[in-house]
Amino acid sequence: SQEKLKSVKTNAMSPKITVELLRQLRQAMKNSKYITEPIQAYIIPSGDAHQSEYIAPCDCRREFICGFNGSAGTAIVTEQHAALWTDGRYFLQASQQMDNNWTLMKMGLKETPSQEDWLVSILPENSKVGVDPWIIAADQWKNMSKALSSAGHSLVAVQDNLIDTIWEDRPAPPSTKLITLGLKYTGLTWQDKVTALRGKMAERKISWFVVTALDEIAWLFNLRGSDIEYNPVFFAYAIIGISNIKLFVDSKRLLDPAVQEHLELDSPSKPELTIQCFPYESVYTELQAVCAALAPKEKMWICDKASCALTQVIPKSHRSVIPYTPLCLAKAVKNPTEIQAMKMAHIKDAVALCELFAWLEKEIPKGTVTEISVADKAEELRSQQRDFVGLSFPTISSVGPNGAIIHYRPLPETNRTLSLNEVYLIDSGAQYLDGTTDVTRTVHFGTPTDYEKECFTYVLKGHIAVSAAVFPNGTKGHLLDSFARAALWDSGLDYLHGTGHGVGCFLNVHEGPCGISYKTFADEPLEAGMIVSDEPGYYEDGSFGIRIENVVLVIPAKTKYNYRNRGSLTFEPLTLVPIQLKMINTDLLTQKEHDWVNDYHKKCRETIGAELERQGRKEALDWLIRETQPIV
């Protein structure tokens, strides 16, 4: 899956009528019930309080006020104006979903002002601009505040979210049942993880750590929830001290005896492993209390993506802001149990996909299979597998020209029928108790054109170049990105997205801190046990899209020499789904690539074949055997 693919729910819909909502919001902006002095502008960011990529319905405040439901965008409402900033992916969609009370600010175009510049250009002198400090990151607050101050205005924190005050039928914050994960899935108890974390804290002389990312909390406590669609996380905060564990979560969730036992709430094994539970909302006051009791030189970690509200509770002299937390790093390097579990999840996922493709071959000639029906069928087949929990992201199921829309998601208005004449791309994945999957295959059910095969083969060569790359320990993922593009570049082609992202273990399908991208960021070096996707593509606008995606595990590589004893790494594919041979122009493959394809298919046949046999899925097994014939 691509980050770009987050929920485009429609391309054709009527705009939301916002006259009355804007009137109410502007009243709230002057209402002394919420603010001591009127504010002249109110900023509505699109995130939640936990820097989540996907958000719960109760947090879709920007969509509520303007109608635009893309994954990225910030709304600002002043006394006279209402404007929404979003990027090129969403220009069309936003213009269709918003009524004419809203101005669309097209980010990335030269003439579009930044939020700061726009505010400064239209605000009356000495204005106050409000924002909910819980849903703006500390560094964003700082930048905005600085820009406003230097123009004579000020940024103020409005504690009551003003959208919530006018949102009558706002969904309740979710509080789904918690799932406890045993050692069989996690390899380490939460007590082990807390102890290891404290080791890292001691190394850096840190006495407290405020955990705000939902997947870090879920991973640390070996708990999962379903508060956010596709992401098995639950709303919580944690504050970990050298001898304290404070967990902030809706107390109803802790009534479950399984959870009580898992967390040893009644009978902790050791005093320093006693979890103190607090209501979710009390994190602010409790953090204040912890900070008030800090000794002069004590330091507290918090992530630079944490909310302004929480970050500012920590006095500057005690605050150590970090780009990646030690939990983010620990979570990224999977332990042997997690690796085994991820492998199992990928085997089950491959079984479902083999069945899907065998079914498609039979059904497509009937002319009744659509993008949506394939997505539904894929979900049904996955759900038959043991420990299935749900999808890991919305399925991208796209025929012909729809395949060229990288973040496409089929909707009734756009739904196309699969045929023998067009390329079909499916990017999908699931959550199982034992792991998270994410796989893309591009196939043709008739006869692909020479050009389609040529492009597919370049993408395959890029996929193999990354998958088979050998590189020294300490190499950062972005140094591998060009390997995925070299074959496309040679022919003047390219794709405008990154090549890979970290993948969680029954957690978020996109996770940090590593990735493979031409964009260089402060990524951490790849190390054995990390799991990332390898997904180059090629997109011909109006015609077709190609992407070949496997989830791959970083493993030690055996090399002939070992310069400075650094050791080397390579990748092992966890995804074991055949790559359609019909789409390959084998003349374009080197011997090494040729062998890679045959080795990969041999492994698919052996591993998935055995499981299909075990599950008695005969038709899918026949399909697998046919699709994994060696190429000569």
Residues of this chain that interact with a copy of itself (CB under 8 A) are: 469-472, 478-483, 485-486, 489-494, 518, 520, 559-564, 566, 568, 590
In b/e form, how buried is each residue of 430-449, taking b as 16+ CB within 10 angstroms?
bbbbbbbbbbbbbbbbeebe
Nearer to a copy of itself, 470 or 610 (CB): 470
How near is the Cβ of 470 to a copy of itself at its closest, in Å?
A: 5
Nearer to a copy of itself, 195 or 585 (CB): 585
How near is the Cβ of 228 to a copy of itself at its closest, in Å?
A: 33
How near is the Cβ of 492 to a copy of itself at its closest, in Å?
A: 3
How near is the Cβ of 540 to a copy of itself at its closest, in Å?
A: 9
Closest CA to 63 of 8, 23, 136: 8
3-state secondary structure of 65: helix
* Separation between Cα atoms, residue 402 and residue 410, nearest integer Å: 9
* Separation between Cα atoms, residue 623 and residue 180, nearest integer Å: 37
How near is the Cβ of 481 to a copy of itself at its closest, in Å?
A: 7
Closest CA to 97 of 226, 37, 9, 7: 9
Characterize the bridge pairing of strands 245-248 and 275-278. Answer: parallel
Residue written as tokens 């060569």?
461
Nearer to a copy of itself, 342 or 488 (CB): 488
Neighbours of 287 (CB within 10 A): 23
- Cβ-contact 546, 456 below 8 angstroms: yes
How near is the Cβ of 483 to a copy of itself at its closest, in Å?
A: 7
Q: What residue ranges in 11-139 does DSSP mark as E strands? A: 41-44, 74-78, 82-86, 103-106, 128-131
Nearer to a copy of itself, 32 or 121 (CB): 121
How near is the Cβ of 541 to a copy of itself at its closest, in Å?
A: 9
Q: What is the DSSP letter of 36?
A: S
Q: Is 186 left (phi over 0), alpha (psi -120 to 50) or beta?
A: alpha
Give 266-273's long-range contacts (Cβ < 8 A, gap of 24+). 269/191, 270/191, 271/243, 272/242, 272/243, 272/244, 273/191, 273/194, 273/195, 273/245
Amino acid identity for residue 539 in this structure = Y
Nearer to a copy of itself, 490 or 606 (CB): 490
How near is the Cβ of 495 to a copy of itself at its closest, in Å?
A: 9
Residue written as tokens 């979900």?
379
Nearer to a copy of itself, 441 or 485 (CB): 485
- Cβ-contact 206, 198 below 8 angstroms: no
How near is the Cβ of 454 to a copy of itself at its closest, in Å?
A: 9
Nearer to a copy of itself, 282 or 491 (CB): 491
Nearer to a copy of itself, 267 or 591 (CB): 591
Closest CA to 239 of 141, 140, 306, 173: 306
Nearer to a copy of itself, 268 or 567 (CB): 567
Token pair in block for residue 96? 């269709």
